[in-house]
Each structure stands twice: as C-alpha cells, then as structure tokens.
Structure 1
C-alpha cells in the first residue's frame, strides 16, 4: 500500500492536511497515511505521532525556551519516517520545523513535497538555496512564488490558496442577527486577535481600547469575537472587562454567519495580520490589519524584510487595499481612527471591497479547488517517484 507521510506544524497546517487527505482519498482510495497532525487530520483517520500543538510556536523568545522539547520531537519524527519508509513525505507550512526535518530524511531516500512555500521572498531570499536541497517540489499558494523558486531550480506547482474553500463567504447574516439579538441600530465589529496565545496576549488589550475609542464616535458598536480552541480561555479573560460585552462565537458555521452579518449590516473588522485578512476579503468584510511582536523579534525581522506590506491582501496587488498598523503603529488610537472611517464613510469600505475582487482572482488555481489541485500535484509526484531513475 502506498504510504503518504504528512507533517503539519500548526493549526492552519492541520486544516490544509485534512483537506489534502480528503482530496487524495477521493482520487486514490488505496492510499495510507501517517504522520503528525491535529484534530482535523484525525477526523480523516490520521493517528498523530504527537500533538501538533507542541510545534505551534512563534517568535524567537517563544521558541527558545522550548528548543529541547522541539529537538526531541524532531528526533522522534525522523525515526518514525525512516522506520516507515513512506513513498512520499508532505511537509505542511511551519518551515522552521518541517524543512529541518526534511533536510534530515531526504538524503536517506525520502522524497519530499513541501505544501505552502516558505516566505523567503519576503525576507532573506538567499535561503532559497537551502530549500532547494531539502525538497523535491513545492506546492505554492501564491502565483508569484512559482517563478521565484523555479529560478533556484525547485519544481513548483501553483495550487491556489485554501482560503477560497474555507467557507468564509457562506454565512447567513439574518440567522446571526436572530441568534444573538443584534439590534437594527447595532454595528457589528469583528475582532480577531489571533490563534496563538502570544498573539492574543499582545493584542487583546490594544484591541479592547481601540473599540472603546471607536464606540465613543460610532453609537451602537457591538464587538463579535470568534473563539479558537487553544486561545479560547485567553480571549474570554481578555474581553471580560470590555465596556460593551462581545458576542463570542465558537463553531465555523457561527463564525461564517458573523462574517456575513458584519458585511451586510455595515460593520468592519479589526484583524490580526495573517490568513484572517484573506478570509475577510472572501467574506467582503472591510477591515484594518494589525500586528505586534516582541520588540527584539521585530528589530531582527526589520533588518531582513524585503517587502512593503505585511498583509497578502496588499502584497498581491502591490498596493494598500487595507490599512496596516504594525508594531509601533499598532496603537488603540491608530486602529480606532481606521475603524471610524470604515464605519462612517461608505466609500472607504466600498474601495476595499473592489480591491478584494482583484486579490481573490489572483488566488484561484488554474482549475478546481485548491485542495484538489494540491492532491493532483501530490499524486503526480508519487508517479514520478515510482519511475526508476
């Protein structure tokens, strides 16, 4: 039986891995899977070697205290791969862990496909040479990544961005209004402070104060905060003293209904930089992007960064579709100023929505859904691996 070993490094990779497994199973029912994943991949039948949450760390000062544990997990995964001898290893995002592991096992005969191109085009582009030694193919989410990596000799398949099949545009605004008693005069503001504890700790108070300032200028403001499993307790604690109690939503369906309500009823979003911003583009929610990291991490990254924008919504069209308030600019006053503009000036929100359409067109694969395109690329790589050199 053909064995595909999947290694996800965090929650977003778990979602990607689960969709990939489902798409692969539809095309090739006889495949077997092993590896490391989370709840979503477990739903597809994966028995994880260890909990994926142990790898979900971000920022230099967050990683350093966990280096010894990460090294043990690296050794464990390496031993498992070499013992199982899979036909293909698919590493998913989290390059600081997954590509180091690939470097260990590829010289031992393991063929490697990396899903989600490392953002070396954004900072330290010279690292692409190391990646070329660690992988046999990259599955890229963004159209401009293929020529960048192919120049370094790495085969690339552009498979489109998974946000397109995440359901962000499938919510029911009226259902959300009825379920949560949202009044006709209330203006919902979607607040997404992140999916990592470190992100929530740094942003939740800033976001709360920004909402307080905004509420003073925009009557009827009602915060809406989606909860993510690993950070639910931190979000509940961080929002407990907000002057306007937020609507907390937990399930994907509730979250998508919230998106629809914010888009339909003249709301806006206060969004942590990352894939969430692309979700807002899919859902049609005008928003401001915010982010803040440890000052030491920020100082190091700034010396290495080579792109103008933090958000893909801005990077793809190479212009500011959504305002970004990053690091020192991530203040309650600055965030509130943008929110007030989005909530009181319809032309500002309309301009963002026009930009969203341009961005989403760039994220679509040549045909089918992103997970289907990724599955086709993986199966093609398995066929290439089966052909004698």
Structure 2
C-alpha cells in the first residue's frame, strides 16, 4: 500500500503522524510519500520540501507568496500523478491541499481523503459543495461535522480529536519543570501567541501590553511561553520586555521527549492561560487549564471575515461544549484592556470553565480508541468500499 500525504502546518503534522502510525499498525508494509513536518517524518516520511513553506494564514499574508505557493501546488500534484499512490490524504490547509487534490482528480482516478472537515458550519458553507468535486472521503475531528459533509455528497467519519489521546503531565514532570525554570511555588500564567511567525508578530505586542495591565495587579505570577521551534527566536525577542519574568520553552534546546514533557507540564502547572485562537484551546481543556482566547488578523482579512463568519464564537471549547464560558478578545476587541479584564475575571472564577472543558473532552472521544488509529481504520474501510 502506497499513501501520499500532505500537511501544511504543525497541527496537521500531528494529525498526519498519528494517522501514519495507525496505518502502519494495520498495514505494516505501508509506504509513505509527501510533505510533512517532524511528527510525520518520525513515522518514516521524507518530506519533498519543508512544510514551513505552507504555514501561511490570511488573505493579505498569502499574497506575497502567491506565485511560490502556486508552483508548489503544481509540483506536488505532479508528484502524486507520477507516483500513483493508492490514496492521497490531504490534511487541513485547504487553500493549498484542495487545489492539489483538484489537479490530481482532473487527471486521474486516485482516491482522495481530506483529514479535518472545513468549518462550513462557521463560514463559507459553499465550500462543502466545491470540496465534494475533488474529495471522496472526509475524516472529521468534531462530532457535529459529518452531516455537513454527507449533505454535500462526500463520505464522512467522525474519528475523534487527537487531543484526547495525548498524554498529560505526571506530578514528577511538573516538579522537574518547575525546578528547571526556577519557578518555585509561584503561580504560572501560560502565554501562547501562536505557531506562525505572522501570528507572533501581530499578537505578541498586544499580549505584552495586556499582561502589563493584568500583572500590575498580580505581580506574584510568572509567565511561561511555550514556543514552536521555527518561531522560538521571534517569540524570545517579542517577550523580552514583558512583565512576569517570562521564560520561553524552546524545543530546539532539548531532546524531543524532554520538550514534550516540558510542554505538557507547563500546561498542567499553569493557573491560567492567554492563547491565540486555534486548537490550543483543546490542549488547555485537556489539561484543565482555564483560558482567555485572543486573536487578530490584518485589517483587510478582518473586514472580509466579518462578512463571512456565521457563528458567535471561534473557540472550540465553546462550540463543542455548547457554552460560551471561554472569553474571547477578537479582531477590534483584541486590546490590552480587554485581555487584562478577562484574565482577571477568569482568575477570580476559574471553576466556571471546568464543566465545559470536561464535556468537550468527552464529546471528542476521550476514553475511546486513539483517533489516529480510528482515522486509519476509516481510510482503509473507505478504500475497500
């Protein structure tokens, strides 16, 4: 069995790595090709080019790289056609991966699977119909997504979210991290300004200004900033003048197992978190860490989004739990004043989010078969059908 996979960002790389492990468990002699990051490469993928080239988000942010990305789309589609895999699995990054799938479908009958259903329930509902022209089968992370995909004519399986299978910190790991960072018994504020360079550059200044206001009333707190390796230097520069004696967790300076242990210990030991919008809210929920979500994009991207978004919250914990307990500072509302106010409110009543976080984990498949293995079974079942 030959599988071509395409991931364009760290969250997709994690999904791809778990799916590859599941496929290898079920089909030991499976062969992989495609584009991915460290997690997928650890499962045997030799990436055709660095995945970081595809980690671009927002209309304005994409424009300077348009022609380069267009060449990579054509190059990747041709690689699929040349190698003739049994299945092409595109993972998230729809603006890139679905264009590749479209070129492949136009020139072949190669089966196409897309992992992560597009959020048509939130914006641009017509995407499902357009996607159905080039995708045969969808693997959904959220339990309410299959009907949207099936209505458009695609097979769709809810396979669970990978966050429910990720290990949580042990008491020994928490102690080790606190000792390594010289935190003592200080309460920890976790700050996560994003995994892309553009996100860090946009969010870190307003995060820092919000922290100055909040920590003026909570000077005992220490700030810990987990960073993805390729943006760690940018994060370190941005947080240099933040209050709270910030410590950046740079995964490049330790072995992968230690880096993973440090990250989960940081999530577990934190009393409170300020995070960019995205799947990190689910990681925080898995660790039981109360949070405030904040995000902003360029002015033009914001104006376009305002006309297209059809939901009143972007935080997955709020959506899956069907509550609105996680406060959000979004777009024009992403201000230092709002960030400081919400951090103070959540710290004063952290229990308000606990039930929603528990419900979210249960609905995403906690306690069941690992999502990567479920996804692999769904891929194989779809191919047999």
Range into which the TM-score falls when normalised by the shorter chain:
over 0.9
Q: Distance in 2 between matches of 1:45 and 1:67?
A: 30
User: Which residue does the alignment assign to 1:14?
Assistant: 13
Counterpart contact for 1:18–1:44, Cα < 8 Å? yes
Q: CA deviation at 1:200?
A: 0.5
Q: Secondary structure at the match of 2:321?
A: coil
1:39-80 deviation digits (Å, cap 9, x = unpaired): 221111111111111111001111011111111111111111
Q: Which residue of 1 aligns with 2:150?
A: 150
- Secondary structure of the 2:133 match is helix
Q: Is the 8 A contact 2:219 2:244 kept in 1?
A: no
Answering whether residue 362 of structure 2 is matched by residue 361 of structure 1, we say yes
Rounded to whole Å, the distance in 2 between the matches of 1:53 and 1:43 is 16
SS at match of 1:112: strand
Q: Secondary structure at the match of 2:104?
A: helix
Cα distance in 2 for residues equivalent to 1:306 and 1:217: 37
In the other structure, the counterpart of 2:111 is 111
Does residue 315 in structure 1 map to residue 297 in structure 2?
no
Q: What pairs with 1:12-51 in structure 2 (closer than 5 Å)? A: 12-51=11-50
- Over the residues paired in the alignment, what is the CA RMSD in angstroms? 1.4
Name the TM-score, length of structure 2 as normaliser: 0.94
1:342 deviates by: 2.5
Q: Which residue of 2 aligns with 1:214?
A: 214
Q: Counterpart in 1 of 2:160?
A: 160
The answer (yes or no) to whether the contact 1:7–1:92 under 8 Å persists in 2 is yes
The 8 Å contact of residues 140 and 157 in structure 1, kept in 2 or not, is answered as yes
Aligned partners of 1:23 and 1:10: how far apart in 2? Answer: 20
Shift in Å, 1:175: 2.5
Structure 1 portions without partners, runs of 5+: 385-389
The answer to whether the 8 A contact 1:365-1:373 is kept is: no
Aligned to 1:74: 73
Match status 1:252 vs 2:251: no
Aligned positions of 1:1-389 closer than 5 A? 2-107=1-106, 108-168=108-168, 172-184=173-185, 186-250=186-250, 251-262=259-270, 267-343=271-347, 345=348, 348-364=349-365, 367-384=368-385
Take 2:325 and 2:371, find their aligned partners in 1: how far apart are those partners?
A: 24
The Cα shift of 1:383 comes to: 2.1
Return closer, same or farther for 1:49/1:329 CA change in 2, 3 Å cut-off.
same
> By how many angstroms is 1:366 displaced?
9.1
Cα distance 1:170–1:94, how it changes in 2: closer, same or farther (>3 A)? farther
SS at 1:243 equivalent: coil
**Post-superposition offset of 1:25:** 0.6
- 1:161–1:365 Cα change, 3 Å: same
Contact 1:367–1:373 (Cα < 8 Å) also in 2: no
CA offsets 1:21-48 (integer angstroms, 9 cap, x no match): 1111111101111111112211111111
The answer to whether the Cα contact below 8 Å between 1:287 and 1:342 also exists between their aligned partners in 2 is yes
User: 3-state DSSP class of the match of 2:13?
Assistant: helix
Give the whole-Å Cα distance in 1 for the aligned partners of 2:133 and 2:123. Answer: 19
Confirm or deny: 8 A CA contact 2:4 2:80 kept in the other structure.
yes
SS of match in other structure, 2:274: strand
Superposition deviation, residue 253 in structure 1? 1.1
Using structure 1 for the length normalisation, give the TM-score: 0.93
Cα deviation for residue 197 of structure 1 reads: 0.7
Give the deviation of 1:170 after TM superposition: 5.0
Regions of 4+ moved over 4 Å:
168-171
Q: How many residues align?
A: 375
* Pairwise CA distance, 1:332: 1.0
